[in-house]
Structure 1
Amino acid sequence: MRQIFKTHPWVPPKELPETQELFRKYGVPGSIRPGHLLKGKGEPSKLYLITRGAAAYYVADRYKSHPSVLSLLIPGCSACDLSVITGDRVNVTTRAIGPCEVLIMQPHVLTDLMKNNSEFAAKEAAHVTRKQECSLEAMVANFTLEPAERLRRFLKVLLINYEVPISDTVWNRIPLDLTNEQYGAVVNLTRVSVSRIFSDWISKDLLYKSGRNVYVKAKLFENIYDWWTD
């Protein structure tokens, strides 16, 4: 799955335990409806920790009719920390992709701890770097891999990041329910292309769908190249 870095593409690593503890101590719970904004592009910084559901960084592409997902944020991931740490605004839109629950924290809580604790600051800087590596891995995958290869790698990344063991004997349910359009936004495909690939896998008994629930066999992931483990 990985071609350059140790970090997996598309789904960034979950926050450090120390950072998650800050959110639990100082964060305010919030609920975001499907499709609604957590933060618009260029808005002042806010910090979010996803506790349930999922959100995504969307990049508006002036040359395409549909938006592209830069990163997919699942429970344990935070949003908007890069703009908080650098002090610069970032031109992405953070939006819930389904019912989403978050903890909302004032930005200074994170930056104050970084100023007062150099050990934590170094760990947080390394963590934010790994999150950017995730975005770079995703862009490399979307530019260099064939459509079906991108999609099957993304399905495996979801299982890995949700810490779901991949069974060789039973169907494996993908833990995040996405529409074909949302799958396409992540791996740079149209809804029609995703549907066509899924139909091909269904005909080969590698995948089946029940509504938005997707189930796959481990055989779908055979011979996926991963430079870190191969």
Structure 2
Amino acid sequence: MRQVFLGSPWIHAPADPDIVRLFNTCGRWAKLPAGGCIFNGGDRGEIALVLSGLGAFSFQDRHGRNHIFTLILPGRLMGDVDGLSGSTVNVTDAALRETEVRLLSRDLFLQFLSENPSIQRKHAVGIIADHESDMEGMIANFTLSAPDRIITLFASLIHNLRPEPDSEGFYPLENSLTTIEISQIVSVARPTVSAILNQWLAEGLLKKVDKHLCVSHALFAALQDWTYRGATPAAKIRKRRHRRVMSAVKRRASSSQSASEANGGS
């Protein structure tokens, strides 16, 4: 599933528990309709903790096409990056479904972080991890075939939602995505997404239960993750260095033995 980093493609890790407590204590409850946005960026930006539903980070290209590069599940933050920097960027933080959130003003969020340096450091590390998840999604779109991108998206959702499989080994996706949303995430044309999903339905790798898509574990049989290949890159580098050192030691020993034999022979 992952090719470079440790985060899940397209999906951020849950917010730090200390930050969650801040939102639950001081945040203003709100319900966003599907398509509703928070006011992110700038000096008056908002930061939101998603309580239920589903959010997304998206942007429109110069042709007006929408692209989703992050899905925001419950327990994650929206608007926290530009809330920290104050930058206004070409990103929309919106609800894909009816979504409950708790909102904080940027001023209150920054005040809390400045008063709690250890939490501020953890939040900074978390932002880096979030960007790594975003990059994992982009790397998947750059390098994988259309079916493998969709498989990776489903695997990422299941890894983070952790649904229990049914007796046949199918994992339900509670927040089933539309074909349009899948196409906007994996950068594949909607008709192609529909054709791939219909093929998997015909092959028994997918099924629909109460309008929710359920994914068979068999669909992930060929899924690869760089952390499952044995040694990490750092370990492989150490092994290569060890082999080079041992090879040099053997060469020196062989050279010394040859010189000794030559001296003894003379």
> Any unmatched runs of 5+ in structure 2?
230-266
Partner of 1:8: 8
Opposite residue 202 of structure 2, the aligned amino acid is S
Give the Cα–Cα distance (whole angstroms) in 2 for the partners of residues 135 and 204 of structure 1: 31
Q: CA deviation at 1:208?
A: 1.6
What is the identity, as a one-letter code, of the residue corresponding to 2:186? V
Instruction: Please give the alpha-carbon distance, in whole angstroms, between the structure 2 residues aligned to 1:169 and 1:212.
Output: 18
CA contact (8 A) 2:57 2:93 kept: yes
Alignment of 1:41-190 (within 5 A): 44-63=44-63, 65-166=64-165, 169-190=168-189
Which is richer in helix? Answer: 2
- In 2: Cα distance, 1:205 partner to 1:49 partner: 37
SS in 1 for 2:84: helix
| Cα distance, 1:73–1:139 mapped onto 2, change above 3 Å | same
Give the 3-state SS of the residue equivalent to 1:104 in structure 2.
Answer: strand
Question: Considering only CA atoms, is the larger Rg found in Structure 1 or Structure 2?
Answer: 2
Q: Report the alpha carbon displacement of residue 102 of structure 1 after superposing the two structures with TM.
A: 0.6
Correspondence 1:20 to 2:4: no
TM-superposed CA distance for 1:75, in Å, is 0.3
- Structure 1 residue 83: deviation in Å? 0.7
* Whole-angstrom distance in 1 between the partners of 2:11 and 2:200: 23
> For the residues of structure 1 that align with 2:155 and 2:38, how far apart are their CA atoms?
27
The structure-2 alpha-carbon separation of the partners of 1:195 and 1:138, relative to structure 1 and needing over 3 Å to count, comes to same
Gaps of 5+ in 1: none
Deviation at 1:175, TM superposition (A): 2.2
Give 1:190's aligned amino acid. A
* Residue pair 1:158, 1:176 contacting (<8 A) in 2 also: no
Could you tell me which amino acid in structure 2 is paired with residue 22 of structure 1?
A: L
Query: Deviation of residue 62 (structure 1)?
Result: 1.2
How big is each residue's C-alpha offset from its partner over 1:152-175, in whole Å with a ceiling of 9 and x where there is no partner?
110111111112245683322112
* Secondary structure at the counterpart of residue 37 of structure 1: coil
Secondary structure of 1:38's aligned partner: coil
TM-score in terms of structure 2 length: 0.81
Say how many residue pairs are matched. 229
Which one-letter code corresponds to 1:60 in the other structure? Q
Paired AA for residue 220 in structure 1 = L
Q: 1:39 to 1:190 in 2, by over 3 A?
A: farther
Considering only aligned residues, what root-mean-square deviation do their CA atoms show, in Å? 1.8
Distance across 2 between alignment mates of 1:142 and 1:172:
24
The answer on whether the counterparts of 1:53 and 1:74 sit within 8 Å (CA) in structure 2 is: yes
* Equivalent residues of 1:42, 1:91 under 8 A apart: no
Matched, 1:192 2:191: yes
- Alignment partner of 1:72: what SS? strand
Q: Pick 1 or 2: higher relative contact order, CA cutoff 8 A, min separation 6.
A: 1
Shift of 1:121: 1.4
Instruction: Tell me if structure 2 keeps the 8 A contact 1:39–1:95.
Output: no
Change (3 A) 1:42 1:187: farther
Equivalent position of 1:225 in the other structure = 224
- TM-score in terms of structure 1 length: 0.93
